[in-house]
Amino acid sequence: MTVSLWKLFTIFLRVGAFTFGGGYAMVPIIQKELVDRAHLMSDEDFLDVLAVCQSLPGAIAVNVSTYSGYKIAGKKGAAVCVLGTVMPAFVIILVYAQFYQQIRDMVFMQQFFLGVRPAIVALLIVSLMKLYPSVPKNPFSYSITVITLILLHFVGLHPILIIIGCMLAGFTSERLKEEKLP
């Protein structure tokens, strides 16, 4: 499927301009735009993009934008998608910085952010529910999920260590499967 670079740019420009709450808030919007609206990726492809991007350093929204663009349209696609994603925030931050002293104590701004926070949580939950059917349903996946939740919530292990551990577990699991095959 061929898609124009302009279309990719405008998709990510919209995502960047109308998503508040940081990178994780952008993920469900990117998913909706690429998978549901433009049909440029399947749920499985997007889940793979998300898995790769989650394990890389850097901002998740920039990683997802870059890798999605690359998967869809190569290096030029990666460039236009990341430009579309970061340009609105860059411009808004420049303008905000100019007027920060005048607006920082405005009740309206404080109320705005109080209202946006719960919406971001809801967006993430909806995205999780949509991606769940694409996750393999096997004992290995369930074990990884439970162990990750325990290590994050109860042990307080750093997420980077958990991601590295899960990558190693997945790699080891697949290697063991390959060795068992005749």
Judgement on whether residues 128 and 141 belong to the same structural domain of the protein: no
Number of domains observed in the structure of the chain: 2
By CB atoms closer than 10 A (0-12, 13-18, 19+), residue 16 is buried
Judgement on whether residues 92 and 182 belong to the same structural domain of the protein: no
Judgement on whether residues 105 and 175 belong to the same structural domain of the protein: no
Domain that holds residue 154: 136-182
5 vs 108, residue with greater confidence: 5
Judgement on whether residues 56 and 129 belong to the same structural domain of the protein: yes
What pLDDT does 64 receive? 93
Judgement on whether residues 175 and 85 belong to the same structural domain of the protein: no
Judgement on whether residues 39 and 124 belong to the same structural domain of the protein: yes
In angstroms, the CA 84 to CA 64 distance is: 12
Note the pLDDT tens digit of each residue in 56-112. 888 888 999 999 999 999 999 999 999 999 999 899 889 888 887 787 778 887 788
Judgement on whether residues 79 and 155 belong to the same structural domain of the protein: no
Judgement on whether residues 179 and 127 belong to the same structural domain of the protein: no
Judgement on whether residues 165 and 80 belong to the same structural domain of the protein: no
Judgement on whether residues 86 and 120 belong to the same structural domain of the protein: yes
Judgement on whether residues 104 and 165 belong to the same structural domain of the protein: no
Judgement on whether residues 60 and 143 belong to the same structural domain of the protein: no
CB 11 within 8 A of CB 73: no
In angstroms, the CA 31 to CA 112 distance is: 25
